[in-house]
Amino acid sequence: MKQFFAFIKKEFYHILRDTRTIMILLIMPIIQIILFGFAISTEVKNIRTLILAPNYDIAVQQIVDRLEANEYFQIIQIVHSPEEIQQAFRKGNVDLAIVFPQQYSNRIYNEEQHIQIIADASEPNSAVIRSNYAQSILAQAEAQLKGSGSLPTVIPNIQLLYNPQMKSVYNFVPGVMGLILMLICAIMTSISIVREKETGTMEILLVSPARPLSVILSKAVPYFLLSIINLTTILLLSRFVLHVPIAGNLLGLLAVSLLFILVSLTLGLLISCVTEKQVVALLISGMLLMIPTILLSGMIFTIESMPPVLQFLSNLIPARWYIELVRKIMIEGVPLSLLYPEIGILSGMGCVFMLITYRLFKNRLN
């Protein structure tokens, strides 16, 4: 046991002496959580809007005032001809144009659609979001202008659960947690062990009085402790800087996070057993861990919208199940008693990775 703690102490000294490693381990999570929380967002704000109103009457003015009062729209100009709209789009000065017909006040009771929305669809997703925002505001404004004397208008009562403000940071924070813990635990652990192989010091460690497997595990312990520090930092930034609530049990969130850290560590140990060079370990970690985690774990893209083949492959990614657990505990407040399937899958992955790592490591000793 003394040799085991001595190896842990040695690895800590090695990490602390390497400034670049410290920057990656402690600074990168802070940068990523702030970047995803503030800079990267699916919300569309400050929509540069052009108004075409041949007859700028009272009804048009009321709708324009409603658009200006909304934080998502920025009225940049009111024009009087379609040519001005085309010119503005060509120059890239406008994102959305709203076209009112002649004598809009007199036609407001017509059942036909009499307001046209023109959007720049060079970015299709943004164009759809902008158009939906404008359509919603126009529908509410028209319903108010029609009043009680008009034909009945059905206005749905929409209730958004868990994220009523539709903040994209609620979606990104669980994904960033999975990505950061995966990178630090798996990638850094695999590189740490492969570095010993490259420098020729692994053989020296293996002939020490400690058992070979204890030597390998001792190199993973420092990254486990550093991952706990990163987890604490991420949760504090998410709660007090990004204002993402923790609706569920905090202890349960910490428990599943520690489980995911262990799974990621075993995956890093597995990579270390099948590689001999740091560059190879980085390529394997980047191709088999980071890229699938970003694309197939549900961090950015919805899994249900993927083709069936990709949905099947996403089941093999540990971060997918951890991100689901974090969203259900942190955002939805689901108790752990309802999350046994995800926890069981994540635990099973950790056991399989550890078993394969042990078998491969024993074979290499022979």
For helices 250-274 and 278-285, the axis angle rounded to 10 degrees is: 130
pLDDT over threshold 90, residue 347: yes
pLDDT tens-place string over residues 143-201: 777 664 444 444 445 556 677 776 777 877 888 888 888 877 887 787 777 777 777 76
CATH number of 47-149: 3.40.1710.10
Q: In what order do the strands lie in the sheet with 73-79?
A: 73-79, 47-52, 96-99, 116-119
Residue type, 252: G
Share of the chain above pLDDT 90, in %: 13
Say if residues 97 and 138 touch (Cβ distance below 8 Å).
Answer: no
Opening angle at CA 87, ends 82 and 91, nearest 5: 150
Residue 203: band (very low, low, confident or very high) from pLDDT cuts 50, 70, 90: low
pLDDT tens-place string over residues 253-309: 999 999 999 999 889 888 888 887 878 887 887 777 888 888 888 887 778 778 889
Domain limits, the chain:
2-40+167-365, 47-149
Helix (H, G, I), strand (E, B) or coil at 62: helix
pLDDT over threshold 70, residue 7: no
pLDDT the model gives residue 277 = 82
Residue type, 289: L
Burial of 197 (0-12, 13-18, 19+ CB in 10 A): middle
Residue type, 116: Q
Residue 142: band (very low, low, confident or very high) from pLDDT cuts 50, 70, 90: confident
pTM exceeding 0.95: no
pLDDT tens-place string over residues 45-68: 788 899 988 777 787 888 888 888
| CA-CA-CA-CA torsion sign (47, 50, 51, 52) | negative
Share of the chain above pLDDT 70, in %: 84
Residue recorded with tokens 């520090």: 229
Q: How far, CA to CA in Å, does 129 sit from each of 62, 64, 140?
A: 23, 19, 17
pLDDT tens-place string over residues 318-336: 999 999 999 899 988 888 8
